[in-house]
Structure 1
Amino acid sequence: MSTAPPPAAPVIIIPARLASARLPGKPLADIAGEPMIVHVWRRAVEADIGPVVVAAAEPEIARAVEAAGGQAVLTRPDHPSGSDRIFEAVSLIDPERRYDAVVNVQGDLPTVEPAIIRTAFAALADPAVDIATLAVPIVREEEKTNPNVVKAVIELPEAATRGRGVYFTRTTAPWGEGPLYHHIGLYAYRRSALERFVALPPSALELREKLEQLRALAFGMRIDVAVVDALPLGVDTPADLERARDLLARRANPRE
């Protein structure tokens, strides 16, 4: 268990790659005249907790971000996960270890609210927490049994908005009366925890559930989960992309 002081110097890193089974090239997909990755970068900048860097797997992504005034770093294209990509990125941009926390914002969340990015980072104020993430109550009945909706099983005291993550699963859990929580794949790591995490071998349950956060739990790392009110739209399909275009168009023109 960590006894480190609260992180004081965070950096937000957004991993992005062009390869996608359901929506190839999605970081560069046009939304309201700008690539999707630029929208994600803008939301992360608006969180106002530290510098924002896009960890790009391809030069085209880096060029798009830099053309919009952002910072990008080119990383290996063959990383197995976003966690590995952000670890390479922070190692490249900060070999002096000035940043003591890394917030991982997925590159396919163009409508993410800056406030929930701040909420994830705020959970690291507890010195016992290694990794922080987010969840939202499930309200649609069909999502409770959908294996594509990852459930966070949280030890959550009554009236609390943050609790310890005890498991993550694609099945319906926990059993019994009470809310179920949809996990949001946005993480805040102590830098030392990220460094440890990427050096660990995959765990048996991680391989079975295909959820890498189970590796952290298997090796005794503490993950806290903050409960937020809204689920950010993740863009995985052409239909998701159209929804994101509509949402951002309405934000830009609220009277229409």
Structure 2
Amino acid sequence: MKIIAVIPARYASTRFPAKLMQDLCGKTVITRTYEAAVQSQLFDDVFVVTDSDLIFNEIESQGGKAIKSIREHESGSDRIAEAVENLDVDIVVNVQGDEPFIDTESLKKLIAVFKNDTEGKVDLASLMREIKDESAINNSNNVKVVVDQSQFALYFSRSVIPFAREKNVGVRYFQHIGIYAFRKEALLDFYSLPMQSLEASEKLEQLRYLEFGKRIKMVETTHIGIGIDTEDDLIRAREMWKSNQ
């Protein structure tokens, strides 16, 4: 089984333009993320896929592997699918470009899903963490997921799911962590399928997989990703990087 990591890297960012090219203690954020993925030793290969000549040249100048997007894409899955379409690979793991502090244990769990899936029932695997704070549960920026007894996703929503009509029945709420591992076939199917109403309404690409019958295995984690979305995040990331050295 050949397993690769792909890091989608857009140059433009509404909240923090060019964030991936910012300096993180001597190297750019995207280079730090790429190197962390390589150093995890979980993958047979690691690629950055980008729409930006600046990011492409940055990765190549550091001795890394980059793929230039040919088309404009609305989602990360589309960008990754185009990149891997002609690669000899079985499993593709999506690593977030703005999270240089990779949680190796969570990625190991995602990869293990496919290694243990001897009957080929899993199309995708992704992460979720339990949330208990009411404000976090009600926050529409926190995507929630409900699962069946085998931990397969039933639905994702920005709304509160399940709705607590009855209290004290032991319902747990899970926030979806947007890190995926895909079978290559599922990823290419996504690339060829049209957006449907649920995805268009919620603006959640994972709903396209569910709407077309793909099975998403959810893995529980306690990890909270440290993404760089603002200049304050970058300052904190620099402090954390220094403290880890």
Q: Cα RMSD between the aligned structures?
A: 1.6
User: Does 1:82 find its partner at 2:76?
Assistant: yes
User: Does 1:223 find its partner at 2:221?
Assistant: no
Q: Deviations over 1:29-68 (max 9, x none)?
A: 1111211111211221133222000002111111222222
- 1:43-192 map, 5 Å: 43-48=36-41, 49-76=43-70, 78-91=72-85, 95=86, 97-125=87-115, 126=117, 127-156=120-149, 163-176=151-164, 177-192=170-185
Q: What is the CA-CA distance between 1:237 and the residue it aligns to?
A: 2.1
3-state SS in 1 of match to 2:152: strand
CA change 1:182–1:121 in 2 (3 A) is same
Q: What is the CA-CA distance between 1:156 and the residue it aligns to?
A: 4.4
Q: What is the CA-CA distance between 1:20 and the residue it aligns to?
A: 0.7
Alpha-carbon distance in structure 2 between the residues aligned to 1:143 and 1:24: 26
**What amino acid is the match of 1:119?**
K
For normalisation by structure 2, the TM-score amounts to: 0.90
User: Does 1:39 find its partner at 2:59?
Assistant: no
CA contact (8 A) 2:110 2:181 kept: yes
Aligned counterpart, 1:245: 238
Q: What is the CA-CA distance between 1:134 and the residue it aligns to?
A: 0.6
Q: Which moved more, 1:205-214 or 1:25-34?
A: 25-34
**What amino acid is the match of 2:83?**
A
CA contact (8 A) 1:44 1:117 kept: no
Q: Which moved more, 1:47-56 or 1:133-142?
A: 133-142
User: Does 1:25 find its partner at 2:18?
Assistant: yes
Alpha-carbon distance in structure 2 between the residues aligned to 1:218 and 1:21: 29
Structure 1: give runs of 5+ residues left out of the alignment. 1-7, 158-162
Q: Count the aligned residue pairs.
A: 236
Q: Which moved more, 1:10-19 or 1:148-157?
A: 148-157
CA change 1:190–1:216 in 2 (3 A) is same
1:12 aligned to which of 2, 5, 8 = 5
Q: Percent identity?
A: 38
Alpha-carbon distance in structure 1 between the residues aligned to 2:19 and 2:193: 30
CA contact (8 A) 2:5 2:95 kept: yes
Alpha-carbon distance in structure 2 between the residues aligned to 1:30 and 1:238: 11
2:189 aligned to which of 188, 196, 207 = 196
For normalisation by structure 1, the TM-score amounts to: 0.87
Alpha-carbon distance in structure 2 between the residues aligned to 1:77 and 1:139: 41
Alpha-carbon distance in structure 2 between the residues aligned to 1:62 and 1:179: 42
**What amino acid is the match of 2:162?**
P
**What amino acid is the match of 2:95?**
V
CA contact (8 A) 1:120 1:226 kept: yes
